[in-house]
Amino acid sequence: MAISRFPLLNTLWCRIISVSMRFKILGLALGLILLLGLALTVQMRLIQEDTLRKELQRHGIALTRDLAARAAEFILLDDLYSLHNLLQDTQTHNSNVRYVFILDSRGMPLVYSFAQGFPQGMREANTVAPTDRYHIQRLETNEGVVWDIAAPILAGEGGVARIGVSETGLQATLALTTRQFLITTALIAFLGMAVASILTWMITRPISQLVEATKAVAAGQFDTRVTPWADDEIGTLTAAFNLMTAELAKAAREREERDQLRGLLLDKIITAQEEERRRIARELHDDTGQALTAIKMGLSNAIAMCGPCRERGRLDQLHNLTGRTLSSVRQLALELRPPVLDDLGLVAAIRRYIADWGRTVEIAISFESFGLDNIRFDPAVETAVYRIVQEALTNVARHANAQHVGVVLERRGTECVAIVEDDGQGFDKAAAKNKRHLGLQGMEERAKLVQGRLMIETTPGSGTTIFVRVPLQGAAKISLREPVLP
């Protein structure tokens, strides 16, 4: 029957297996020693009790037969005085003899050793046939067990000699022997526990070291090594553990080198990307923007010179198209690399981007900044945070189906924290991770490049919150000026 059907046994078993190995071994050793000691004590007591009882009975039979033989002469001479001395001598020289008496041929007490008179019913307690050599009978008395032994005198014609031998001495001997066995068992248990303690210490000490080393490896300390104690099974396990940690350390170094190379590559790619954005924005602003401005001015002059002519409507259309194209080019240049990010820093750039973003989408947006006024820090950090916020708002506009979005930028100690929170439909992070969403992946990579962390809290139907924590590097107060906008 399964243990689970017995809740008490199941609870006891769970508590037993939850005890440490050291206490399990000590408990097992102590239990075996005590069990063996008690079993030997009980067995030796039974054997000794049987042996002593048989010896007591043999001694009592010999005494009774000797008494019957020696009393025959005194009975024939009717010498009661000598019979009395014989009984007294028998009881005096045998400590286990409790009483001695002789019955005549009629079964009446002839002489006896009872100080209070002959007990009633003693004659009938044990009888012997004239043809028997002796007869032994067990009697229960106030002093314990007494073996009453009867032997006929002169084939019963001279009477019967009876001696009662007590087991009091036998029981005292058994108690002394049992006590000695128990003391010996306790000493052996103490020595066994000492030896078991040493053995368990020798076994569990290297295991404990392996456990601590395993915890260190789990924490990323792959240089952890354990010194082997001996060339045994645990030593082999220790050697295998050290080999494993060496391989893990090698793999960690290789992974770190790959991550460093990947980081350098990403840094170069993003740096080149930002430089290219800056160059394209500058060319759009300086070359394309100026060319479109010149074309717009030329069309304005042509319209003024033309007056009311047949091509006036066509010129107006071209003038308006050129104006819209010029605005689009300026907006594209701002999105590629806003000058305000380089001139006034992160807070002003995000505030300007949010203002433009709010005019293009039908989503209410709010922006707050704390502790970052008049602060500039590493351009790489400013660029990374700006691009992450930009990508987050782009995702809100495309996928969130939100009614409101809030952006918070603040300084917390030595970190810059950016929070973008919307009340949209949210998404499944696990599914998005499996699909390798490029926008989310790009934000994470940008945060890692500046030793930052990006966290996303979202569930389907409950909106999305993006946290970015980036350590500030080289932050300093500067005097700001109003940006010159294209």
Alpha-carbon distance of 145 to 138, in angstroms, equals 7
pLDDT at res. 136: 93
Instruction: Calculate ∠ Cα 403-409-410, nearest 5°.
Output: 140
pLDDT mean for each 10 residues of the chain (486 residues): 59 66 77 87 90 93 92 89 92 91 91 89 89 91 90 91 92 90 88 82 77 82 78 79 84 80 67 66 64 72 68 71 72 63 78 84 88 77 84 86 90 88 84 69 81 87 88 52 37
Q: Are 408 and 371 in contact (CB under 8 A)?
A: no
pTM of the full structure: 0.48
State in Å, rounded, how far the first CA of the chain is from the last one. Answer: 86
Q: Which long-range contacts (CB under 8 A, 24 or more apart) does 169-175 make?
A: 169/95, 169/96, 170/49, 170/52, 170/53, 170/56, 170/96, 171/144, 173/48, 173/52, 174/45, 174/48, 174/49, 174/52
The Cα–Cα gap between 155 and 127 comes to 13
Residue 187 φ/ψ, nearest 5 degrees: -65, -45
Backbone angles phi, psi at 419, to 5 degrees: -130, 130
Measured in residues, the chain has a length of: 486
CB atoms within 10 A of CB 135: 18
* CB 327, CB 356: distance < 8 Å: no
- Bridge partners of 161, per DSSP, are 102, 151
Q: What per-residue confidence (pLDDT) applies to 419? A: 92
Contacts of 148 (CB under 8 A, 6+ apart): 125, 126, 136, 137, 138, 139, 162, 163, 164
Burial class from Cβ neighbours inside 10 Å (0-12, 13-18, 19+) for residue 370 reads exposed
Predicted local distance difference test score (pLDDT) of residue 138? 92
Helix or strand run (H / E) with residue 325: helix 312-336
